[in-house]
Amino acid sequence: MSLDDDLKALLSDTQRFLRQQAELYGDSLLVSRAAVETPKEEQIIEKEKPISTDKNLTMLREPEIDMFGDTKKVNKNKFNLDYPAESWTSAASIPLLNQAINTCTKCGLSGTRTNFVFGAGNPKAEVVVVGEAPGAEEDAQGEPFVGRGGQLLTKILESIHFKREEVFICNILKCRPPNNRDPQPEEVELCEPYLWKQLELINPKIILCVGRIAGQSLLKINASLAVMRTKVHDYRGIPLMVTFHPAALLRNPNWKRPCWEDVQKFRKLYEEIKGKNLNPNYKSQY
Ligand code: URA
């Protein structure tokens, strides 16, 4: 290959990259390191394994017994055992829970946040979407997924016939980590019980985790996104699927197609649940 050919190939790659960027960002061009580096989600961990053998965490691992198809089988005692002995745990509704926790100062993020981002949507939603943590826009507005990634999430939901306001959208962390760094384990440990309570009160028929961190945190498994995407999980009797985080799709549009395939499966599973027409082998189906 001559230098000329090399340059032509480079030019063609650059043009393709710019076309993708134009599709995503319109007239303004954003080139960040994140757009060209290999995102974390690509790292493959060979095998799912529990994060910890700690007694409390072990209790949270996916149950052995398949309770799929009957969300009423969620064991409230089991939920209660995991909660700290704090008064918010007895909140009887989503608005009351919000009132009880939105002044939280349990971790350092309370000192840097602008707003506590409780979550938004239908308190009786059949579908709950769980992300990682608020970003700058969410921190400023006090609403989850309202930035560019959030707009893409709305489109993803609409592509499978869910209106944003019909589902409930929330995060593992309720406060923004500075500079959008990954949540720290202590922050997750302190904040995640709020999410468990939200899920207990909403009692959705199905959960969609977007991104590796949401999936790993809720399922208490140390698996890559690539592995988690391949099956339907069980969160305390509620089927749970994991797909790409919208921000990852903005960085790497090649993942839009597999994400679209994931959410088609998600919708199909939702329909099956609604029809109570469930294949008992659902875990290996996808
Ligand atoms: N990313 C998330 O994971 N959650 C938000 O609310 C916004 C961006």
What residue numbers bound the domain in which 11 lies?
1-47
Q: Which residue has the higher pLDDT, 78 or 215?
A: 215
Instruction: Kindly state if the Cβ of 145 falls inside 6 Å of ligand 1.
Output: yes
Task: Tally DSSP H helices, then E strands, for the chain.
Answer: 14, 6
DSSP string, 111-147: HH-SS----EE-TT-SEEEEES---HHHHHHT-SS-S
- Is 135 found in the same domain as 20? no
Closest-lying ligand 1 atom to the alpha carbon of residue 210: 3
- 173 CA to centre of ligand 1 in angstroms: 9
SS3 content of the chain, % helix, strand, coil (to 5): 50, 10, 40
Give the 3-state secondary structure of residue 192.
helix
252 lines ligand 1 (CB under 6 A): no
Residue 212 has pLDDT above 70, yes or no: yes
pLDDT in tens, 57-100: 333 334 333 222 233 334 444 555 579 999 999 999 999 999 99
Whether residues 123 and 226 share a domain: the answer is yes
Ligand 1 centroid to residue 3 C-alpha, Å: 44
Residues 30 and 161 in one domain: no
Question: Which CATH number does the domain housing residue 147 bear?
Answer: 3.40.470.10
Write the pLDDT tens digit of every residue in 119-132.
999 999 999 999 99
What pLDDT score does 219 carry?
A: 96
| Per-residue pLDDT at 64 | 38
Alpha-carbon distance 38 to 131, whole Å?
21
Higher pLDDT, 176 or 6: 176
Q: What is the DSSP letter of 18?
A: H
Phi (first) and psi of residue 263, to 5 degrees? -75, -25
**Residues 71, 79 contacting (CB under 8 angstroms):** no
Residue 138 Cβ inside 6 Å of ligand 1? The answer reads yes
User: Do the domain assignments include residue 281?
Assistant: no
| Ligand 1 nearest atom to the CA of residue 149, by list position | 8
Residue 280: inside a domain: no
1 CA to middle of ligand 1, Å?
45
Cβ-Cβ contacts under 8 Å for 124 (sequence gap 6 or more)? 202
Report CA dihedral (268, 269, 272, 278) to the nearest 10 degrees: 140
137 and 268 inside one domain: yes
CA of 130 from ligand 1 middle (Å) equals 9
Note whether residue 278 is domain-resident. no
Token couple for 147: 């930035």
131 lines ligand 1 (CB under 6 A): yes
For tokens 């507005």, name the residue.
141
SS3 state at 39: coil
Percent of the chain with pLDDT strictly greater than 70 = 69
Which of 47, 62, 78 is at the close of a domain? 47
210 C-alpha vs ligand 1 centroid, how far in Å? 9
Confidence of residue 206 (pLDDT cuts 50, 70, 90): very high
279 in a structural domain: no
* Residue 31 reports pLDDT greater than 70: no
- Domain total in the chain: 2
- Does ligand 1 lie within 6 Å of residue 217's CB atom? no
For the entire predicted model, the pTM comes to 0.75
Asked if the structure places residue 256 within a domain, the reply is yes
- Do residues 217 and 251 lie in contact, with contact meaning Cβ atoms separated by under 8 Å? no
**For 220-260, what is each residue's pLDDT tens digit?**
999 999 999 999 999 999 999 999 999 999 999 999 999 99
In a domain, 181, yes or no: yes
pLDDT at 21 over 70: no
Same domain, 57 and 43: no
For residue 286, is it within any domain? no
The CB of 119 under 6 Å from ligand 1? The reply is: no
One domain for residues 128 and 71: yes
Determine the residue type at 129.
V
Judge contact between 194 and 177, C-beta under 8 A. no
Q: Is pLDDT larger for residue 286 or for residue 151? A: 151
pLDDT given at position 42: 39
